[in-house]
Chain A
């Protein structure tokens, strides 16, 4: 009798635990079916709910659903599905929008390809950075040089990518160097700098700031509604480091100046001694998130929006103070007329 009760109790307790364990599917939803239709719908819905510029872009997202849904069918190849989804995403005309699969990556190219490049790296290196080879330094990710023009001493900074980690000591050194050499002005060349880490924006710009200033306003998506954004977050720049450079500074931009570089440009607009010269930046002022489709492909798009202190939304590009394209004749002669325009600003203040 005792053994029987032992067994019954043990069996009951085991049974209870098994029953509890069987609740797994009560707590975990079934995965969405991995088929073209479900992947398409998941992506379309996520963009509809979380993309921060849908209204700004003036798109009828429902109409886009109908247009691309008609191209989805069972049995389509992975490549065909990728093409449809990527084309749908490219309707957003946004460089922060990508679809990544094991075999392909979608990029929206027209932001840069529909405009002149306005940058010739060889001309910049040969005729400006290396004008006085002894003065050419590579300090961390910053190429920098000092040269004289018409008796005016110019400091030149070329920063190729905000993805290149910028240490405070790198910028401190360059600014100290320019101050020690008593340069009259600085050219910061961020053309074709496609962006990177936002933290580098502040590491860089805060060494060129004279006082705390409002750089821009950021808003984050907080819900699926078109205007579901959180409170305005005021983003400031402020003097950091033992020295700052506060003289005339020409900021050179082109359509390839994107994302973090646009944030840098927007922050620089709040400094009265900065002048942006060249073409509009490419924009990309929203911070992108990333997520995954049921089939494992990842995608990204912007989930924040950034406004200037005057509430301008320049997601499609920040206009320069001086709009000027690279002159191919000057370029062929070894001159960059955008750089020359920057030198002119430093000399004349105009």
Chain B
């Protein structure tokens, strides 16, 4: 519901633009997907070209080429990131239902555990997100039907390299890659022999990141907080990822878990192998977006507040699956290296 509210606000109050019709027109058609792919690849090519053409421009703030007083190359910082993600997940698994199953995600947050690298010329992370939630569809909520137990286990990694800085180095644009792996299963006893639905997929693609750093004057008391320093540095970032290729496995077209041979696990593994499918933009469209605010804490640690959003469509007519997940992350990033903090 959270995203829906955003949509309503966006469409009716701020933008007066129907984004859904724009996106509907663009993405679901083959030509739309191709156009999107070409546009994204072009953007990345241009970015790469810019990197090649402007070495002198980068020199003055390419920290990787700088040495400290003892002649060693300056490295960046590594953070251990941990915290809850209050996520709402929606699934349409057409093997068992045409209805949208939505989690009451704010009741059971997922747990995020990650490593974050902030180096002078690149930014990278390796995140794990795991947890269980309950899902139901509208009739299910109405009839108080058995809920679907959803298990989510997700690993995302990405690294983006600095392409260009703007506004006096305060706005940084970087481009790189991302790799995702996700295991999700949904169990609902009311579906009897089709009670166990899963999707396991992995993919890789391109990632685009904008970071903007800014200072806030904090010399005066703010609410009940007395800041120690007269100003604090914050950073706001936005990262967009588009997976381009990967693989997925889903239950069979029939949807069943118990077969006529009674061998549950053997059948499960066999079906996972048999239904393994290569994916690319022709059958698996996915978008990941995250906007984050990093606020300084003591001991060079960081408070991270982020809104994560991920959506995908698996357009296999025999095992069609759609999912959208959006949630708010409130986590702490603990600096775990002994190096001096770089400006970024």
Contact B98 A13 (CB under 8 A): no
State in angstroms the CA–CA spacing of A102 and B253 once bound together.
Answer: 27
Give A94 Cβ to nearest chain B Cβ, in Å. 14
- Find chain A residues with CB under 8 A from B246 CB: none
- Find chain A residues with CB under 8 A from B274 CB: 230
* Contact A218 to B261, CB < 8 A, known contacts A26-B27, A223-B253: yes
State in angstroms the CA–CA spacing of A294 and B99 once bound together.
Answer: 6
CB-CB contacts below 8 Å: B1-59 with A: 3-4, 6-7, 9-11, 14-15, 19-20, 23-24, 27-28
Contact A287 B98 (CB under 8 A): no
State in angstroms the CA–CA spacing of A289 and B319 once bound together.
Answer: 14
Supply 19 further A-B pairs (C-beta < 8 A) apart from A18-B10, A24-B7.
Answer: A9-B171, A9-B212, A10-B236, A15-B14, A21-B289, A22-B3, A24-B324, A26-B20, A26-B28, A27-B313, A32-B99, A42-B98, A202-B261, A220-B256, A222-B253, A230-B252, A288-B193, A290-B195, A296-B139
Partner of B23, one of A26, A292, A295: A26
Let me know if B264 is at the binding interface, CB within 8 A.
yes
Contact B3 A27 (CB under 8 A): no
- Find chain A residues with CB under 8 A from B263 CB: 199
Give B145 Cβ to nearest chain A Cβ, in Å. 7
Give B177 Cβ to nearest chain A Cβ, in Å. 19
Annotate A206-240 by CB proximity to B: 1 below 8 A, 0 otherwise.
00000000001010111100000010010100000
Measured CB to CB, the nearest residue on chain A to B267 is A233
- Find chain B residues with CB under 8 A from A22 CB: 3, 6-7, 10-11, 19-20, 23
State in angstroms the CA–CA spacing of A22 and B289 once bound together.
Answer: 12
Let me know if B318 is at the binding interface, CB within 8 A.
yes
Contact A290 B194 (CB under 8 A): yes
Contact B7 A216 (CB under 8 A): no
Annotate B252-294 by CB proximity to A: 1 below 8 A, 0 otherwise.
1111101111111000000000100000000001010101000
Contact A23 B291 (CB under 8 A): no
- Find chain A residues with CB under 8 A from B256 CB: 220, 287-289, 303-304
Contact A20 B260 (CB under 8 A): no
Partner of B100, one of A31, A34, A297, A306: A31
Let me know if A48 is at the binding interface, CB within 8 A.
no
Interface residues of B (CB under 8 A from A): 3-4, 6-7, 9-11, 14-15, 19-20, 23-24, 27-28, 90, 92, 95-100, 137-140, 142-143, 145, 167, 171, 190-195, 210, 212, 214, 236, 238, 240, 252-256, 258-264, 274, 285, 287, 289, 291, 307, 309, 311-313, 318, 322-324, 326
Partner of A23, one of B98, B99, B254, B287: B287
State in angstroms the CA–CA spacing of A274 and B171 once bound together.
Answer: 81
Give A222 Cβ to nearest chain B Cβ, in Å. 5
State in angstroms the CA–CA spacing of A295 and B98 once bound together.
Answer: 10
Partner of B262, one of A16, A25, A201: A201
- Find chain A residues with CB under 8 A from B3 CB: 21-22, 24
- Find chain B residues with CB under 8 A from A32 CB: 98-99
Partner of A198, one of B9, B171, B259, B313: B259
- Find chain A residues with CB under 8 A from B140 CB: 296
What are 25 A-B contacts with C-beta separation under 8 Å? A13-B210, A15-B14, A16-B291, A22-B10, A24-B4, A25-B7, A25-B20, A27-B322, A29-B322, A31-B98, A31-B137, A198-B259, A199-B258, A201-B262, A220-B252, A220-B259, A230-B274, A287-B254, A289-B254, A290-B194, A290-B255, A296-B138, A296-B142, A297-B139, A304-B260
* Contact A27 to B260, CB < 8 A, known contacts A22-B23, A291-B95: no
Let me know if A19 is at the binding interface, CB within 8 A.
yes
Let me know if A160 is at the binding interface, CB within 8 A.
no
Let me know if A17 is at the binding interface, CB within 8 A.
yes
Give A46 Cβ to nearest chain B Cβ, in Å. 9
- Find chain A residues with CB under 8 A from B238 CB: 13, 16-17
- Find chain B residues with CB under 8 A from A24 CB: 3-4, 7, 90, 311, 324, 326
Measured CB to CB, the nearest residue on chain A to B9 is A18
Contact A17 B307 (CB under 8 A): yes
Let me know if A332 is at the binding interface, CB within 8 A.
no
CB-CB contacts below 8 Å: A170-211 with B: 197-202
State in angstroms the CA–CA spacing of A261 and B259 once bound together.
Answer: 14
- Find chain A residues with CB under 8 A from B258 CB: 197-199, 287
Let me know if A90 is at the binding interface, CB within 8 A.
no
Query: Which of A14, A26, A31 is packed against the most chain B CB atoms within 10 Å?
Result: A26
Give A163 Cβ to nearest chain B Cβ, in Å. 12
State in angstroms the CA–CA spacing of A13 and B292 once bound together.
Answer: 10
- Find chain A residues with CB under 8 A from B7 CB: 21-22, 24-25
State in angstroms the CA–CA spacing of A291 and B145 once bound together.
Answer: 14
* Contact A289 to B193, CB < 8 A, known contacts A19-B10, A26-B23, A304-B256: yes
State in angstroms the CA–CA spacing of A220 and B311 once bound together.
Answer: 31
- Find chain A residues with CB under 8 A from B190 CB: 290, 292, 298
Measured CB to CB, the nearest residue on chain A to B240 is A20
Contact B95 A198 (CB under 8 A): no
CB-CB contacts below 8 Å: A289-325 with B: 289-298, 300, 303-304, 306
Contact A290 B311 (CB under 8 A): no
- Find chain A residues with CB under 8 A from B212 CB: 9-10, 13
* Contact A28 to B192, CB < 8 A, known contacts A21-B6, A218-B261, A296-B142: no
Let me know if A263 is at the binding interface, CB within 8 A.
yes
Measured CB to CB, the nearest residue on chain A to B212 is A9
Give B90 Cβ to nearest chain A Cβ, in Å. 6
Give me the 7 closest cross-chain CB pairs, A-B, nearest first: A296-B139, A303-B254, A27-B311, A199-B262, A292-B97, A218-B260, A198-B262
- Find chain B residues with CB under 8 A from A201 CB: 262
* Contact A23 to B311, CB < 8 A, known contacts A287-B260, A296-B139, A306-B260: yes
Let me know if A248 is at the binding interface, CB within 8 A.
no
Measured CB to CB, the nearest residue on chain A to B312 is A27
* Contact A20 to B139, CB < 8 A, known contacts A27-B312, A201-B262, A292-B98: no
Contact A300 B253 (CB under 8 A): no
Let me know if A114 is at the binding interface, CB within 8 A.
no
State in angstroms the CA–CA spacing of A50 and B96 once bound together.
Answer: 12
